[in-house]
Amino acid sequence: MNREYYGKLIFELSQPGRKGYSLPKNEFEGYSLVELGETQLRQTGTILPEADELTVVRHYTNMSNNNFGVDTGFYPLGSCTMKYNPKLNEELAALPGFNQHPLTPAKFAQGSLKLYDEVQKTLAEIAGLSRFTLNPYAGAHGELTGLMVIRSYHMSRGDVARTKIIVPDSAHGTNPASAAVCGLQIVEVKSLADGTVDVEALKPLLGPDIAGMMMTNPNTLGLFETRIPEIAKLVHECGGLMYYDGANLNPMLGVCRPGDMGFDVMHINLHKTFSTPHGGGGPGSGPVGVRKGLEQFLPNPQVIVKDLKDTKDLKAYELHCDEESLGYVSFFLGNFAIIVRAYAYLLSLGKENIPMAGKLSVLNANYIKESLRSHYKLPIDTVCKHEFVFDGLREEYGGDHHSPEHVTTLDVAKRLLDYGFHAPTIYFPLLFHEAMMIEPTETESKETLDAFIAVMKRIAEEAKADPQLLKSAPHDTPVRRMDDVKAVKEPKFTFKAL
C-alpha cells in the first residue's frame, strides 16, 4: 500500500473544478422561491474538497480498511458484546416506509409506532418488567434515565432525603458517572475475593438516605451474582429501588429475567445484546424498563395503544405525555432506525431461538477460558458466563513483573493486531493489575475461536522467546504504537488549508 499517496486527506486530494456528483434537474425552475435575507447569506466561501468519484471511492474505502471492525475480524472486546450485525437488519432499516419525518403526525405513522410498541413489549417480556421506553440513545443514557425514574419515584412520595446510590467496585465506569450526573452521591460496596458483591459489607451502608442500588449481572467479571434476591430484599426493606445495568443481558436471554430477581428499573443496550451497530460513537440505543407502578415516570413521549371503537382488531397507536413523567431525554422517539434493526434481529431469531444466543455465548467464553488457562493467569477460577478475565500472562511466559523485560497485557494486546484480531478489553475491571477481559459472543464459529486460541498461545511462546517482538508490536498495522496521552491532550480534528 502506497501510504504516502493513498493516506492523504481528502482535502489534499482536492483539485479545483473536479466533480464527483451530478444534481437532478431542478423541478422548481421558474417558480419564485423565498429569498434569503442578507443576514442569512454566507459571508465567506466554503473550503470543501473537490474530487472525482473514483478518488472519493478509493479514499473512503482505503480509510475504512485502516480500521478494525466486526466485519473484518474477530473482536473479543469484553463488556461490549461485539456480536455480528446481520445484514438483514440493514436491509429492513432501509425500507422507504421507515424513512419518515420525525414530525409526521401519529395517524400517518401507525406502522412505525406499531414497530416501536412491539419492540417495547418484547423487551418487557424478555426482562420480566412492565413497560419499556426506547427513547434513550445509549447505555449510559439509559442509566441516567433509569436513575431519574428512581429519583422521580422518591420525589413523588415526598421522600427527598434519598440522595445516595450504592454501586459495586466492579461496576462499569458509566454507573458512577451516570449517578453523579443525576445528582446522586455514590457509595461504593466492595466485592469478595470470588468477585461477587459482599453482602455483609452492604448491610451497614443501607439507610433512609439510600435511593437505590445499581447492579450488573452477570457482573463485569462475567460472574453471575447469586445473592441478588437477598440483596434486593435488603435494599427494598430500607426503601431503595434496585437498578439493573443490562449491558450484560446477552447470556441471560431467555434463561432468567431481571424482573423476577427483584430489579425495579433497568436498561438494555440494543447495540450489544440485540445486534445493532456498535462503535464509532453510535448511534446506539439504551431502552429503559420499569416494574409495575413506575410506568408513569418514564420519559415522554410514550407510545401507547388504544382499541378503536369496540373492535379489538383495530388498534390505534398514539403518543402520550404523562404529567408525572421525568420529562424528555431525547428528541422524538430515540434512534428509530436502530430500533428497526433490533426488531429485525428479534424476529429473525424468534422466541424459540433467543435462549440459544445466551447459552452459546456462555459456551464460547468458557471454551476460550479453558483452552488458554495453561498460558494466561486465571485469577477467578470458576465457570463464567459470557466473558471472563485473565490477569496477564503466566509468569513462565511473561516473566517476572518486576523486570523491565516483563511482557504486559498491553504488549499482548498490541501483538494480537498483527495477527488480525482485535484486542480484548484491557486494564478493566480495575480489580487486577494486568486485566484482559475476553468476550467472544455467540456469533463466532468454533474455527474462529480455535484460530484465536492458537494465536494467543503463540503470542505467549513469543513472549518467552523474544519479549522485544511484543514490546515493539504492532508491526503490520497502518500506525504503530500511538501516544495515547498526546492523542487525548492534543487531538487534531481540523484541516487547515495551506
Ligand X SMILES: *Cc1c(COP(=O)(O)O)cnc(C)c1O
What is the binding site for ligand X (CB under 6 A)? 79, 138-140, 172, 174, 216, 220, 245, 247-248, 269, 284, 286
Give the nearest distance from C-beta 364 to ligand X in angstroms: 17
Q: How many CB atoms are located within 10 Å of the residue 66 CB?
A: 13
Give the nearest distance from C-beta 220 to ligand X in angstroms: 6
Cα separation, 439 vs 424, in Å, equals 8
Q: Of 123 and 247, which CB lies nearer to ligand X in the complex structure?
A: 247
Q: Of 247 and 459, which CB lies nearer to ligand X in the complex structure?
A: 247
Strand 210-216 and strand 241-246: the pairing is parallel
By the 10 Å C-beta count (0-12 exposed, 13-18 middle, 19+ buried), 491 is classed as exposed
At 417, is the secondary structure helix, strand, or coil? helix
Cα separation, 74 vs 452, in Å, equals 8
Give the nearest distance from C-beta 319 to ligand X in angstroms: 25
In 298-362, beta strands by DSSP E: 302-307, 315-320
Cα separation, 175 vs 182, in Å, equals 11
Q: Of 182 and 238, which CB lies nearer to ligand X in the complex structure?
A: 182
Cα separation, 238 vs 450, in Å, equals 49
Give the nearest distance from C-beta 323 to ligand X in angstroms: 29
Give the nearest distance from C-beta 202 to ligand X in angstroms: 19
Give the nearest distance from C-beta 174 to ligand X in angstroms: 4
Give the nearest distance from C-beta 168 to ligand X in angstroms: 11
Q: Of 55 and 216, which CB lies nearer to ligand X in the complex structure?
A: 216
Q: Of 440 and 474, which CB lies nearer to ligand X in the complex structure?
A: 440
Q: Of 219 and 408, which CB lies nearer to ligand X in the complex structure?
A: 219
> Residues 245, 219: contact at Cβ < 8 Å?
no
Q: Of 178 and 408, which CB lies nearer to ligand X in the complex structure?
A: 178
Q: Of 55 and 170, which CB lies nearer to ligand X in the complex structure?
A: 170
Give the nearest distance from C-beta 269 to ligand X in angstroms: 5
Place of cell 449491558: 247
Q: Of 276 and 443, which CB lies nearer to ligand X in the complex structure?
A: 276
DSSP string of 85-102? --HHHHHHHT-GGG---T
Cα separation, 359 vs 386, in Å, equals 8
User: CB within 8 A of 354, min separation 6: which ones?
Assistant: 126, 253, 254, 346
Q: Of 385 and 471, which CB lies nearer to ligand X in the complex structure?
A: 385
Going by C-alpha positions, the residue among 396, 388, 395 that lies closest to residue 371 is 388
Cα separation, 76 vs 280, in Å, equals 17
The amino acid at residue 377 is: K
Give the nearest distance from C-beta 73 to ligand X in angstroms: 20
Cα separation, 479 vs 408, in Å, equals 20
Residue 227 C-alpha cell reads as 445473592
Q: How many CB atoms are located within 10 Å of the residue 130 CB?
A: 14
Cα separation, 420 vs 477, in Å, equals 9
Give the nearest distance from C-beta 285 to ligand X in angstroms: 8
Q: Which helix (H) or strand (E) holds 357?
A: helix 336-372
* CB-nearest residue to ligand X: 139
Give the nearest distance from C-beta 363 to ligand X in angstroms: 20
Residue 386 C-alpha cell reads as 459470557
Q: Of 174 and 409, which CB lies nearer to ligand X in the complex structure?
A: 174
Give the nearest distance from C-beta 78 to ligand X in angstroms: 8
* In 128-224, alpha helices (H): 139-156, 174-181, 199-202
Give the nearest distance from C-beta 272 to ligand X in angstroms: 6
Q: How many CB atoms are located within 10 Å of the residue 9 CB?
A: 11
Between CA 264 and CA 179, with CA 342 as vertex, the angle to 5 degrees is 35
Going by C-alpha positions, the residue among 338, 429, 431, 341 that lies closest to residue 387 is 429
Q: Of 222 and 301, which CB lies nearer to ligand X in the complex structure?
A: 222
Cα separation, 397 vs 372, in Å, equals 12
Query: Within 13 Å and on the Cβ side, how many CA atoms surround 74?
Result: 27
Cα separation, 172 vs 221, in Å, equals 10
Q: Of 285 and 364, which CB lies nearer to ligand X in the complex structure?
A: 285
